[in-house]
Amino acid sequence: MSTASRQTGFSCPLCDAAGFTLLETQADWLSRAAGTADERRQIGGIVAADPDLAFGGIVRCRECGLATVRTRPSPDALGRFYSAYYASASYGTKRDKKIKRAARRVRRLSRRIRSNGSNAKRRFLDVGANLGYAVEGARQRGFDATGIEIDAEAVARATAEFPGNSYHATTVEAFAARGETFDLVYCSEVIEHAIDIRSFASALMDLVAPGGVLFVTTPADGHRATPDPLVGWVQVKPPEHLHWFAKAHLLRLFDRPDFAPRFRFNPKPGHKLVLRRALH
Q: What is the CATH number of the domain that holds 263?
A: 3.40.50.150
Residues 35 and 145 placed together within one structural domain of the fold: no
Domain boundary among 62, 88, 114: 88
Packing angle of the helix pair 95-110, 133-140 (nearest 10 deg)? 50
- Residues in the chain with pLDDT values less than 50: 1-8, 88-89
> pLDDT per residue over 87-117, tens digit each?
544 566 789 999 999 999 999 999 999 977 6
Instruction: State residue 259's pLDDT score.
Output: 98
Torsion of CA 27, 73, 191, 256, to 10 degrees: 120
Instruction: State residue 92's pLDDT score.
Output: 63
Residues 214 and 263 placed together within one structural domain of the fold: yes
Amino acid at 184: L
Residues 186 and 265 placed together within one structural domain of the fold: yes
Residues 12 and 115 placed together within one structural domain of the fold: no
Instruction: State residue 33's pLDDT score.
Output: 97
Residues 66 and 104 placed together within one structural domain of the fold: no
Instruction: State residue 272's pLDDT score.
Output: 98
Residues 271 and 155 placed together within one structural domain of the fold: yes
Domain boundary among 40, 59, 88: 88
Question: For residue 111, with 0-12 CB atoms within 10 Å meaning exposed, 13-18 middle and 19 or more buried, which class applies?
Answer: exposed
Its domain, for residue 36, covers 3-88
Instruction: State residue 115's pLDDT score.
Output: 79
Residues 141 and 122 placed together within one structural domain of the fold: yes
Number of domains in the chain: 2
Instruction: State residue 93's pLDDT score.
Output: 73
Residues 24 and 79 placed together within one structural domain of the fold: yes
Residues 157 and 75 placed together within one structural domain of the fold: no
Instruction: State residue 6's pLDDT score.
Output: 36
Domain boundary among 38, 71, 88: 88
Q: How far apart are CA 192 and CA 68, in angstroms?
A: 9
